[in-house]
Amino acid sequence: MKTFELSHSSGASKPDVAGFFDPRTFSVQYVVSDPATRKCAIIDPVHDFDEKSGATATHHADELLAYVQKQGLEVEWVLDTHPHADHFSAAQYLREKTGAPTAIGDKVVDVQKLWKEIYHWPDFPADGSQWDRLFAEGDTFRIGELDTRVMFSPGHTLASITYVIGDAAFIHDTIFQPDFGTARADFPGGDAHQLWQSIQDILALPDETRLFTGHDYMPDGREPQWESTVGEQRETNKHLAGGVTEDDYAAMRNQRDSELPMPKLILHSLQINTRGGRLPAPEANGKRYLKIPLDALEGDAWE
């Protein structure tokens, strides 16, 4: 199975993009680098977790670090697109290893407030202080000499953002590969109409913009894929092509989502990812514990 691919820069102000696929969670991590300066950012890193044994590990995050070292790169940012519901974020681990600041969208505070109630965390600071920087719509920053712009992309979650880095956009849970379609919008705080508008904003980027998604579910058993273009998505995405209207899309999305079970790690992951990737503090016996609220979410699947 393909678990790595490098999308090369095609010219000045355009990044090299290394994608790393995690078959356990169907997630894609990225190292985005500036060929001119050898500076880079890590996007949506995975902290390994085995739900059966409760074991944690840093195999995938260490793979990123090994790539960075081998390529002679310097990490300037550790970026999350949103608080993930299907894997733990390794942002804090990589911050400790590299010294690079962490960042996420500023609407993460709304996600924190929502999950603070679900987990019954009365003393939890839902203020985004778990990251070094919170990005708002339109914010800009640099990775080496690469100009980077932040787009607010809600719908999948309240806090989802897109990073546009040169000719590449990191769209995570908005649009998947054309043969799979688009992301669900039924998590707490999700909204199919908002997701439609976020997708339209992404598809308004230039046709040649490289789009890098956060997951691939390999329909019909094909090899993992995670790169497409705006033009390709507009013309061939199974949920978007052929004159689909916003109301058509929202009706389709809501119907499909009503038939999907919740991700198996959502209750595990959000208590890590709303903390910026920090594992729970050890208790008096030196062990860490997750807190799983019962009967907190709809979407049960008994079959």
300 pLDDT above the threshold of 90: no
Q: What is the pLDDT of residues 91-138, one digit of tens each?
A: 999 999 999 999 999 999 999 999 999 999 999 999 999 999 999 999
Q: What is the pLDDT of residues 234-270, one digit of tens each?
A: 999 999 999 999 999 999 999 999 999 999 999 999 9
Could you tell me what percent of the chain has a pLDDT over 70? 100
Average confidence (pLDDT) over 272-300: 95
Quickly state the pLDDT bin for 298 (edges 50, 70, 90): confident
Tokens 């550790």 label which residue? Answer: 78
Average confidence (pLDDT) over 276-291: 97
299 pLDDT above the threshold of 90: no
Domains, in order of start, for the chain: 4-272 (3.60.15.10)
From CA 131, how far away is CA 159, in angstroms rounded?
14
Average confidence (pLDDT) over 220-239: 98
DSSP structure string for 57-102: E-HHHHHHHHHHHHHT-EEEEEE-SS--SSSEE-HHHHHHHH-PPE
302 pLDDT above the threshold of 90: no
Q: What is the pLDDT of residues 139-179, one digit of tens each?
A: 999 999 999 999 999 999 999 999 999 999 999 999 999 99
Q: Please, what is the Cα angle at 48 between 81 and 93, to 5 degrees?
A: 65
Quickly state the pLDDT bin for 303 (edges 50, 70, 90): low
Q: Can you point out the beta strands (E) in 168-243?
A: 168-172, 210-213, 227-229
- DSSP H/E element including 141: strand 140-143
Burial 57-87 (b: 16+ CB within 10 A, else e): ebebbebbbebbeeeebebbbbbbbbbbbbb
